[in-house]
Structure 1
Amino acid sequence: MWPDVVNRSHSWELMEGVVQCMLVAFWVLCVLGLRYPLKMLPVLLWELAWKSLWLILVALPMWISGQMDSSTMETAIACLWILIFPFVIPWRFVFANYLKKRGDRWI
């Protein structure tokens, strides 16, 4: 990701630019999460959610139908790292603070 951002030799198409900038911003938040893991837990949960959805809704159907190209396979392999997340997420904390705890007032 960083080499594409720093050393780019061409202008990005609209969605490529959006994706690259979002991934850089996400990377910064992940680094911040190393310092404050519980406070940045929503970032980890978001990554678990989007990668799981992409693998299930995009990669899996392509793989099953035999239409997966090399760049999609590369992305799928990179996303498979998500398989370790369920083992490192403090689920008791998630349930206690995100599901059972009363929500903040809006007004």
Structure 2
Amino acid sequence: MSTHALIRFFSPDPRHDGVRPVQLWGLRLFYLLMLVFVTPTAWQALLTHAGAWDPLRAVTIAVWATYPALAFFGLFRPLRWLPLMFFTIGYKAVWLAFIAWPLWQAGTLWDTPTGEVAASFLAVPALAAVVPWGYAWRTYFGWSRGSAGAGVVAAP
């Protein structure tokens, strides 16, 4: 790869609203990892389950089957599917904070199934690193000065 191509790979791209190509490819990589690692486990659990479901476990498995299926679309439109990344970062961060952290502090996290899940969730900082936060803020969370009250319809 030439120096010029390398610089372009890490530079904001005006064709993608200033998002760096490295971030787009990083997002695609995480969407692909969701597909490869989560889909088989979740769908196997759904398709091979016998008997009555525990309602909370059923919701968990249904969510785990759905979000990587949606990640397929993120491979092609990584910026449009950023809310899926927000969901992924959010639920993993909440799980680490409220489930794994207390067990880790008590010295009972590792060498357990919960520890295995925690280890897989420790990639959250890498996931957060590929999210183009400036673009995300402009697109999903922020409003420009001229759009104060945007989306609010005045009463007739």
Q: TM-score, normalised by structure 2?
A: 0.60
Deviating 4+ runs (over 4 angstroms): none
Please tell me whether Structure 1 or Structure 2 has the larger radius of gyration of its CA atoms: 2
Taking structure 1 as reference, are residues 96 and 57 closer, same or farther at Cα in structure 2, changes over 3 Å only? same
CA RMSD of aligned residues (A): 1.9
Residue of 139, 146, 149 corresponding to 1:97: 139
| 1:89 positional shift | 0.5
Q: Distance in 1 between matches of 2:112 and 2:53?
A: 21
| 1:80 positional shift | 1.5
AA matched with 2:142: K
AA matched with 2:83: P
Q: Distance in 2 between matches of 1:47 and 1:57?
A: 16
Where structure 2 has 5 or more consecutive residues not aligned to the other structure, the ranges are 1-41
Deviations 1:59-106 (A, max 9, x none): 011111123361111111121222211221011201222233246424
Q: Which residue of 2 aligns with 1:37?
A: 78
AA matched with 1:58: I
Q: Which residue of 1 aligns with 2:66?
A: 25
The structure whose RCO (Cα within 8 Å, separation 6+) is larger is 2
What number of residue pairs does the alignment pair up? 107
AA matched with 1:75: V
Alignment of 1:5-84 (within 5 A): 5-68=46-109, 70-84=112-126
* Percent identity of paired positions between Structure 1 and Structure 2: 25
Q: Distance in 2 between matches of 1:8 and 1:66?
A: 33
Where structure 1 has 5 or more consecutive residues not aligned to the other structure, the ranges are none
Q: TM-score, normalised by structure 1?
A: 0.84
